Amino acid sequence: MIKYFRFIFIFSSLFLVGCSTTKKTAPINSTVPSLKEIFKNDFVIGTAMDTQQILGKDKSADKLIQQQFNAVTPENMMKAEVIHPGWNEYNFHYADMLVAFAAKNNIKVNAHTLIWHSQLPAYMQHNQDADSVKQYFENHISTVASRYDGKVYSWDVVNEALNEDGTLRNSIFLQKLGPDYIVDAFRLAQKASPHSKLYYNDYNIEQPQKRAGAIALIKKIQAAGVRIDGVGIQGHWNINNLPLKNIEESIKAFNALGIEVMFTELDISVLKNPWDNNTADISATAKGNAAMNPYKKNLPDSIQTKLTKAYSDLFTLFMKYKKDISRITFWGVDDGQSWLNNWPIAGRTNYPLLFDRNFKPKPAFYSVIATASKQ
């Protein structure tokens, strides 16, 4: 078996050397192993789905989703600015399509996200009126969560409420509703959506200080007698900074709270960010130059190898804790879809996922598959 994987690995590495970075429509090779099959006894395997894919305008990606994944997270279409564009106006068009696609293909939906300081509709972005923020908060959660109750497997109820030091982010919700707003969000979601799981989701919560903040938050929700079913560690990492020790400690620490632990937005950037840290704060942007976009044409073998090893190390760890991890979701299907091509610097060429821009599995894909056969 291992010989088989090695053969595919070498063969695909050779093939990949010649691949360009332009996106094409390519037939999906059905002899490629399927992540959801390989890991079916270990964890659910998800991907973020974008609007093009939902509209059926990215057929190669759609085929790959059906072949490889048994969970999807809407990358943008269930965010407040899209789904709740006016005070009394909701747009469920894309979310309904996503739910129908998932039902048809036996895929679980993790709905993302009810309460997030970012991507708020325009009428909420600078709202100074506490009563109005409270009304929005209650209406939004009740209306959106109840529509999809039981139709989505789970909700990221609150997203990114913490600062790096573990304190609460100074968001519009903290300012206008006070520090109990997170417990209140889960309480409202529990009422509106009794048949879907409820999660807290954030980046860098594997880091000790921020992790301590997340643990305090989860304990506070539990102490209030409100349901929280799991925690999502987003997993936006970098080949030069893969925090394996902190990830391992976090799996243990969150698992000790008696809730599900998930990796919900996994990608491994091969490009530097200007601050040399791991952040996914969408408001932190920078101007680029050619030096900051070094792999415009293709990825050098040495970096491909580094990425492959990073994914192998990560999934070796995930497999060690497979009993404690319920889901691993990649933040996109193929490299061309990744938000990391446009953040923190617009217009770069990044390679953070398991499938390349032609939807071909990368060496990293086979290194992930190989971790299953080792256990």
Which amino acids are annotated catalytic? 160, 265
Q: Is position 91 an interface residue for ligand G3I (rule: CB under 6 A)?
A: no
Residue whose CB is less far from ligand G3I, 16 or 233: 233
Closest approach, Cβ 238 to ligand G3I, in A, equals: 14
Classify residue 316 by burial, with Cβ atoms within 10 Å: 0-12, 13-18, 19+: middle
CA–CA separation, 214 and 177 (whole Å)? 19
Q: Is position 234 an interface residue for ligand G3I (rule: CB under 6 A)?
A: yes
Within 105-144, the residues that bind ligand G3I by CB under 6 A are: 119
C-beta neighbour count of 77 within 10 angstroms: 21
Q: Is position 370 an interface residue for ligand G3I (rule: CB under 6 A)?
A: no
CA–CA separation, 170 and 178 (whole Å)? 10
Residue whose CB is less far from ligand G3I, 62 or 156: 156
Hey, what are 245's tokens? 């020790």
Q: Is position 334 an interface residue for ligand G3I (rule: CB under 6 A)?
A: no
CA–CA separation, 154 and 84 (whole Å)? 19
Within 27-46, the residues that bind ligand G3I by CB under 6 A are: none
Query: Any idea how long the chain is?
Result: 375
Closest approach, Cβ 114 to ligand G3I, in A, equals: 12
Q: Which helix (H) or strand (E) holds 252?
A: helix 244-255
Helix (H, G, I), strand (E, B) or coil at 111: strand
Closest approach, Cβ 112 to ligand G3I, in A, equals: 6
Residue whose CB is less far from ligand G3I, 76 or 316: 76
Within 44-73, the residues that bind ligand G3I by CB under 6 A are: none
Q: Is position 100 an interface residue for ligand G3I (rule: CB under 6 A)?
A: no
Q: Is position 75 an interface residue for ligand G3I (rule: CB under 6 A)?
A: yes
Q: Is position 76 an interface residue for ligand G3I (rule: CB under 6 A)?
A: yes
C-beta neighbour count of 50 within 10 angstroms: 20
Hey, what are 239's tokens? 């080949």
Q: Are 340 and 346 in contact (CB under 8 A)?
A: no
Within 239-268, the residues that bind ligand G3I by CB under 6 A are: 265
Determine the interface stretch with ligand G3I among 75-83, 168-176, 177-185, 364-372 (rule: CB under 6 A): 75-83
Binding mask 288-307 for ligand G3I (x = CB under 6 A): --------------------
Hey, what are 84's tokens? 């709740």
* Residues 6+ away with beta carbon under 8 Å from 197: 153, 154, 155, 229, 230, 260
Classify residue 287 by burial, with Cβ atoms within 10 Å: 0-12, 13-18, 19+: exposed
Cis ω on the peptide bond leading into residue 85 (within 30° of 0)? Answer: no
Q: Is position 339 an interface residue for ligand G3I (rule: CB under 6 A)?
A: yes
Q: Is position 171 an interface residue for ligand G3I (rule: CB under 6 A)?
A: no
Closest approach, Cβ 10 to ligand G3I, in A, equals: 33
Determine the interface stretch with ligand G3I among 74-82, 177-185, 270-278, 305-313 (rule: CB under 6 A): 74-82
Q: Is position 280 an interface residue for ligand G3I (rule: CB under 6 A)?
A: yes
CA 172 to chain CA mean position, Å: 23
Closest approach, Cβ 38 to ligand G3I, in A, equals: 26
CA–CA separation, 84 and 9 (whole Å)? 45
CA–CA separation, 196 and 173 (whole Å)? 23
Residue whose CB is less far from ligand G3I, 105 or 342: 342
Q: How many residues bind ligand G3I (CB under 6 A)?
A: 10
Closest approach, Cβ 25 to ligand G3I, in A, equals: 20
Q: Are 60 and 25 in contact (CB under 8 A)?
A: yes
Q: What are residue 243's phi and psi, to 5 degrees? A: -85, 65
Closest approach, Cβ 269 to ligand G3I, in A, equals: 11
Residue whose CB is less far from ligand G3I, 357 or 366: 357
Judged by CB under 6 A, which of 130, 216, 282, 346 binds ligand G3I? 282
Closest approach, Cβ 303 to ligand G3I, in A, equals: 22
How many Cα atoms occupy the beta-carbon half-sphere of 297 within 13 Å?
4
Interface residue list for ligand G3I (CB under 6 A) = 75-76, 79, 119, 159, 234, 265, 280, 282, 339
